[in-house]
Amino acid sequence: MIDIEAANEYGVVVSNVPNYAAYTVSQFAIGLLMEICLNIGRQTDAVRAGDWLGIKNSGSSWEPTRMEFRDKTMGIIGCGAIGRQTAVIAMALGMRILACDQIKRAEWENSEFHYTSLETLLSESDIVSLHCPVTDKTRHIINMTSISKMKKSAILINTSRGHLINERDLASALNNGGLAAAGLDVLTDEPPMDDNPLLSAKNCYITPHVAWATPEAQVKLFDSIVENLLAFLAGKPRNVIKN
């Protein structure tokens, strides 16, 4: 949202607040996955509506997205603080991780965590979770071409930025069986326009960009903003963003 190049050119200091919500966003990403696979909200609503027997016998209607996490593969595109923490939770649930990132940390590699190419990640993952920034290389990284490389049973999770996804391509894939489901906390336009195709797409779970908003994360955010301001006033800016 800020022209960093222009700010640097004119000597305007731009500071951010990194990693304040790594735990919060990662648990939300896994929460979206759990809701998609377990349908806890829908089952609760049905029981409250008196449909106990319907719940017991309606497994077929929820079959496309039900899965046990153990021995599944999660592909993580962008493995910084949030992506890494998502991987930690996923591995605790019995999943193996395929990660795609420009920076590879050898110390993270083990029997459950491997770096790989984007193509391999897309083709082998049961779940693909996005945790990368929007750049010229990642804008619309999820599109009809990349979706065609994924399993039709795969689930897409995005708690990063809406511009990573071509929304019309994703909606088409969901409606036509190209993907099983998607869990999105972010969209290209927020709030979405009424004609956003994802609002009516099959098995598309959308939340209003709240993955970051636990009280704990907000305290970290506000404290760090104050520290940034105090550091700037003291002539020692911190968390400065350069080109």
DSSP code of residue 191: S
Contacts of 49 (CB under 8 A, 6+ apart): none
Torsion of CA 193, 30, 100, 173, to 10 degrees: -40
CA distance 35 to 44: 12
> What residues are annotated to the active site?
161, 190, 209
Q: Burial level of 70, CB count in 10 A (0-12/13-18/19+)? A: exposed
Q: Residues 123, 145: contact at Cβ < 8 Å?
A: no
What does the block give as tokens for 198?
């994802």
Rg of the Cα trace of the chain?
A: 20
